[in-house]
Chain A
Amino acid sequence: MQGLSSEIWISVRLTVALAATTTVILLIVGTPVAWWLARSRARWKEAVAAVVALPLVLPPTVLGFYLLVALGPDGPGGAIAGLWGARTLAFTFEGLVIGSVVYSLPFVVQPIRNAFEAIGDRPLEVAATLRASPARVFWTVAMPLARPGFLTGAVLGFAHTVGEFGVVLMIGGNIPGETKVLSVAIYDFVETLQWREADILAAGMVVFAFAVILAMTLIEKRMRRAGS
């Protein structure tokens, strides 16, 4: 029992660390992408949007396969790993973070893009006529007005990363404390007929998902009331 619960806790901690790291990176990477998609008049921007959205449609195994190739010793991931003397990024925590960033990208970019688009041109034009430089317009008008989109994006990105399974299995495998996240642990418990442990984790995930959705809805409602 003692051993089991520590095994559970290790994967919970790992999952939270993965989801948190991924979410922070996604907010940093996804915001400029979302801003560009919302504001650019380039004709090919919808092609870029489609690439960003691919993980929504692709089977996780397909995505996982390509990520495995890219992260492996012969891919760019291997080259990066070489910087600190490792052979590959596959089957490492860092590799999982990269995979999760790609996999959850649309869940963060889409709501932020929508929020940026919902602002419209007017507030940005007003700010420009009040001598605000484009950078100041972005930080003092676009970002605050898009706040609900950032909240939705962060929560969806986090929750989606917590729940990912296919991609993790393909590129991370099953290394306790390194790549064995919750969803993989549940799978393992079932495989080894440890139903009780699987049940605890699965029920925990249900409660987590419910709490996330409820909290997000309530916070968004409050933000909208405050903002309009």
Chain B
Amino acid sequence: MNGTDTIHVALSGSLDDFDLDVAFDAPGHGLTALFGPSGCGKTTILRCIAGLNRLAGACRIEEDIWQDETRFTPTHKRAVGYVFQEASLFPHLSVRDNLLYSSGGRVKPAASNGVGFEEVVDLLDLDRLMQRGPQRLSGGERQRVAVGRALLSQPRILLMDEPLSALDRQSRDEILPFLERLHRSLAIPVFYVTHDMSEVERLADHLILLDAGRVVASGPLGVLQSDTTLPLALQRGAAVTLDAVVSDYDAAYGLTRFDVRGGSFLIPGSADMPTGSRQRLRIGASDVSLALEKPASTSILNVLPATISSSRALDDREIVMVLTLGHDSNGEQLLARITRRSWDLLELQDGRPVFAQIKSAALAPRRLPQ
């Protein structure tokens, strides 16, 4: 796609009566989510990248060619880190021995990518688990060990196959901050398979949309989220995630100001976020309403000038539209969903300047990798 795309995957063929035909490029940094319904081929793609399954095609991670017309590198010679859906720790080894399996039990100093034993143990808070057997860990702890074990194999790419889906809600909430930390502090590209949009919104930089063994779309998360030709923007829980910078904290009212391209948002709380730090905001399409004039008196904190860039009827009752923040149309894009009645009543049309009213409660800051 462009010069920064350094991971190339193309696979076609059938496996257990399932047809897969995909080709995509992804950046060599950040987290790329492979998103789609169950049975769309996400896991198969990951397994083929790891060499656990074999389909015709190509697989290249930067300058390492793992598969092309003439060669197929076996799994144990590919520098992958693979985190399976179930942690799959070796039951006969302690946590420490699981972590050190790939190095044959030797503790190695940090490699150039910053991944060393101490660093991984610290990053995933594994220190007090070290001598335990996998049987005596909680689901979340097990998955943390599995992530650490994969990282310590010094992978060129980390492949994660729905690492949270086998966990209960509590374990999930416990492990997500670790994944965010990982994402922020490591330079290793991550492919992350999930069918849970909230994980995508929280973690992904890049998105590959899959359906029935085909790539529907591939690109930066924000671009795909606000593309009304794709199913993502049309679904009930449609939302965009915005890159934001903390610019101010109003101690008197306990409000934090976040700047995004083309506007800024006030969000209650978050006193601990340093000014200048980068965060991720999520704004749901159904939490955005429109006004033609700036409302003089309203309890809604965030009313931002915006322009309707495009619109699409969802059905005969609702319209979903893409708003560009600012009236000079170079800001971030939001999604808004309103009734067709309101659309007609306000005589809205593409290109029209409006005011977007965003309910404060709908703004959820997410950490963003530095």
A residues neighboring B (CB under 8 Å)? 122-123, 125-134, 137, 140-141, 144-145, 227-228
Contacts and interface: CB of A to CB of B under 8 A. Distances in A.
A97 to B, nearest CB: 33
Given A125-B52, A126-B84, A131 B102 contact: yes
Nearest to B97: A140
A133 B150 CA distance: 16
At the interface, is chain A mostly helix, strand, loop or mixed? helix
A128 B81 CA distance: 10
Given A125-B75, A228-B135, A130 B149 contact: yes
A62 B202 CA distance: 71
Contact of B150 (A122, A129, A132): A129
B75 A123 contact: no
A144 B88 contact: no
A129 B92 contact: no
Nearest to A132: B76
Contact of B88 (A122, A137, A228): A122
B90 A123 contact: yes
Interface string B75-91: 11111111010101011
A134 B51 CA distance: 14
Given A130-B153, A132-B102, A227-B92, 12 more contacts: A122-B84, A125-B84, A126-B88, A128-B74, A129-B52, A129-B75, A129-B78, A129-B81, A130-B150, A131-B79, A131-B102, A131-B153
Contacts of B149: 130
Contacts of A227: 91-92
A133 B79 CA distance: 13
Among A140, A144, A145: residue with most chain B CB under 10 A: A140
Interface in B258-272: none
A145 B92 CA distance: 7
19 contacts: A122-B86, A123-B88, A125-B52, A125-B84, A126-B82, A128-B76, A129-B75, A129-B81, A129-B150, A129-B153, A130-B102, A131-B102, A131-B153, A132-B101, A133-B76, A134-B76, A137-B76, A144-B92, A227-B91
Contacts of A228: 91, 135
Contact of B82 (A129, A137, A144): A129
B50 interface: yes
Contacts of B76: 128-129, 131-134, 137
Contacts of B92: 144-145, 227
Contact of B90 (A125, A126, A129): A126
Question: Which are the 8 A-B pairs with shortest beta-carbon distances?
Answer: A129-B82, A130-B102, A128-B75, A144-B92, A128-B76, A126-B88, A130-B153, A122-B88
Among A131, A141, A228: residue with most chain B CB under 10 A: A131
B137 to A, nearest CB: 13
Contacts of B86: 122
A141 B88 CA distance: 12
B82 A145 contact: no
A218 B102 CA distance: 34
Given A125-B52, A125-B75, A228-B135, A130 B101 contact: yes
A126 B98 CA distance: 11
Interface string B6-47: 000000000000000000000000000000000000000000
B90 A141 contact: yes
Among B84, B86, B90, B149: residue with most chain A CB under 10 A: B90
A134 B74 CA distance: 10
B91 A145 contact: yes
A119 to B, nearest CB: 10
A125 B78 CA distance: 13
